[in-house]
Amino acid sequence: MKKKNEKAPKKIAITVSNLHVTYRGLKKTSIRASWKHFGDKIEKFEALKGISFEVEEGKILGIIGKNGSGKSTMLRAIAGIFSPDKGKINLHGNTISLLSIGVGFNKKLTGKENIYLSGMLLGFSEEEIKSKEKAIIEFADIGDFINKPVKTYSSGMYSKLAFAITAILETDIMLIDEVLSVGDQTFKSKSYNKMKELISDDKRTVIIVSHNLDTIKNLCDEILWINDGEQVMKGSADEVLPKYEEFMKTL
């Protein structure tokens, strides 16, 4: 796929400034332990440590890093699911959708009901969603499961429906977390081709998290490499990928 041509000046679609996200959880301890020292039993893990970057409108940014580096946390923070402990995220008034397995559906509701729920959460009216309902169902291609609770879905069916909703109900910014690698081969091909179609729009901004370096190289204008919550480098595929691959060989 030919990457988007450089056009100046470009508007900024996403600004991430000094982003910190910390998880908190209980340390392993006896239930007989004194509640007086409850605060001492809180364990903290800093998932993102002061990351800053911008993405221009219409650009495709790939985020890479070994497991546990904070890639998915980054997407969830940008999508508004996680609140930063420090720093700011500015979407400059753009609408945004996150495509990630396990995020965004009420598993007690049917697939069709989740189409409307997801669409409304993205800011679409019921009429707008209804006008695209048939296209979403046809693209997802999960048969009668569209009328069954999402909790009965396989990961592949979940992925198909999630991708269909995001692809048909188009937002200004799309965040994609490994979904292109889930599902049967036919769906992978269909979703990859649809993704190429969507990101060919010079006004749509995309961030892709993936371990598939061929996908990253073929689709992305720039690459952000993060490791253990810290930014290592940001640049073109030719600049970043060789260094990242050498790093991964040392693990």
Task: Give the mean pLDDT of 129-139.
Answer: 95
Task: Determine the Cα–Cα distance for residues 48 and 245; give it in Å rounded to an integer.
Answer: 22
pTM: 0.80
Helix axes 126-140 and 155-168, enclosed angle (nearest 10): 130
> What is the C-alpha to C-alpha distance for residues 120 and 213, in angstroms, rounded to an integer?
34
Q: How far apart are CA 210 and CA 225, in angstroms?
A: 11
Q: For residue range 210-228, list pLDDT tens digits in order.
A: 888 998 998 899 999 999 9
Task: Report strand pairing: 60-64 vs 222-227.
Answer: parallel
Residue 242's CB: how many other CB atoms inside 10 A? 10
Q: What is the mean pLDDT of residues 126-149?
A: 95
- Cα–Cα distances in Å, from 250 out to 50, 66, 111, 194, 246? 25, 12, 44, 36, 7
Residues 106-123: pLDDT tens digits? 999 999 999 999 899 888
Lookup: tokens for 108: 């007690």
- Asked if 216 and 241 count as a contact pair (C-beta separation under 8 A), the reply is yes
Going from N- to C-terminal start, the domains of the chain cover: 10-24+47-94+173-180+205-251
CA 126 to chain centre: 24
10-24+47-94+173-180+205-251 homologous superfamily: P-loop containing nucleotide triphosphate hydrolases (3.40.50.300)
**Whether the predicted pLDDT of 200 surpasses 80:** no
Residue 26 has pLDDT above 60, yes or no: no
